[in-house]
Structure 1
Amino acid sequence: MRAAVFDSENKVFLVRHTYVPGWYLPGGGIETGETALEALGRELEEEGHIRLEGLPELRGLYWNREISRRDHVAFFVVRHYSQTKPREPDHEIAEAGFFALDALPEDTTKATRRRLDEVTGALVPNGLW
């Protein structure tokens, strides 16, 4: 699952991992015994010290056919949260921060850009990640 976390200035939180190129929306997999919302809360805390303070909006369920024939990604929009502290680099996260939608890092992934264009209404979702 992935989430577009927006601050009060409509900037979006992105992460750059140490093990793959590009900037991504935060997120990850659902562990055994977790609900999707529990997994989202865990991933946001791990990747951004972000704590949910309300229900996120489920924007869609997408098929990520480039990963496998059965990989699906739940996409959420988060506007009600707190960030306990900025995310410092470590072995997993090289960089993280909030970015204006018109000033995303150059190497922001295509899928991330598509999701953000869907949130703003510039694109209609097509169900493919």
Structure 2
Amino acid sequence: MTPDRDKRFRQTGWPGFRAILFHKYFLLRRAMTVGVRGMVFDREANAIFLIRHTYVPGWQLPGGGVELGETCEQALGREFSEEGNIVFTAPPLLKSIHLNRVNTRRDHVAFYLIENFAQDRPKQPDREIAEAGFFALDALPEATTPATKRRIGEVFGGEVASGYW
């Protein structure tokens, strides 16, 4: 089984059905979807910021969809504000662009590295985010998603960026 097909990190039940409905809706409304994800890196702590959603299993990098009329950097800033109470103090660095073929063949993800940021308070759980926090690179949660591990390897391990999420 390839990492992209790891069933432990697939949506099931109502959240999975809802995701399929959203993808079908967007298929009718848009020819292609674009999302953003980012890796906030705290150099002093050698740690990255991860979230765990209420509706998707696993720990992953924050991010989400780019809305109509929004730039990728604006979407990234909005998502980090919502999912982590994090604001950027310098522009994020675009590292790579990936095809996310887990649910559809038309979803692309722009991946950014953020090293200049501020967090005014820890993210508290809500309806979307079950948990959030910084994790040392050598002490990641056991349920870190395969895609998150691949991005970490590309940024810190010198691995070549995959064209696929």
Q: TM-score range by the shorter chain?
A: over 0.9
| Counterpart in the other structure of 1:45 | 81
TM-score by length of 2: 0.76
Counterpart selection for 2:57 from 2, 10, 21: 21
Q: CA deviation at 1:33?
A: 1.2
Count, aligned residues: 129
Q: Does 1:4 align with 2:76?
A: no
| Counterpart in the other structure of 1:84 | 120
What is the distance in 1 between the residues matched to 2:132 and 2:104?
27
Could you list the runs of 5+ residues in structure 1 that have no partner in the other structure?
Answer: none
Identity of aligned residues (%): 58
TM-score by length of 1: 0.97
| Counterpart in the other structure of 1:61 | 97
RMSD: 0.9
Q: CA deviation at 1:122?
A: 4.2
What is the distance in 2 between the residues matched to 1:13 and 1:34?
24
> Which of 1 and 2 has higher RCO (CA within 8 Å, sep 6+)?
1
| Counterpart in the other structure of 1:105 | 141
Larger Rg: 2
What letter is aligned with 1:72?
H
Question: What is the DSSP-based 3-state SS (H/G/I as helix, E as strand, rest coil) of the residue aligned with 1:6?
Answer: strand
Q: CA deviation at 1:113?
A: 0.4
Runs of 4+ displaced beyond 6 Å: none
Q: Does 1:73 align with 2:73?
A: no
Question: What is the DSSP-based 3-state SS (H/G/I as helix, E as strand, rest coil) of the residue aligned with 2:38?
Answer: strand
Q: CA deviation at 1:68?
A: 1.1
What letter is aligned with 1:48?
G
Question: What is the DSSP-based 3-state SS (H/G/I as helix, E as strand, rest coil) of the residue aligned with 1:89?
Answer: coil
| Counterpart in the other structure of 2:129 | 93
Question: What is the DSSP-based 3-state SS (H/G/I as helix, E as strand, rest coil) of the residue aligned with 1:21?
Answer: coil
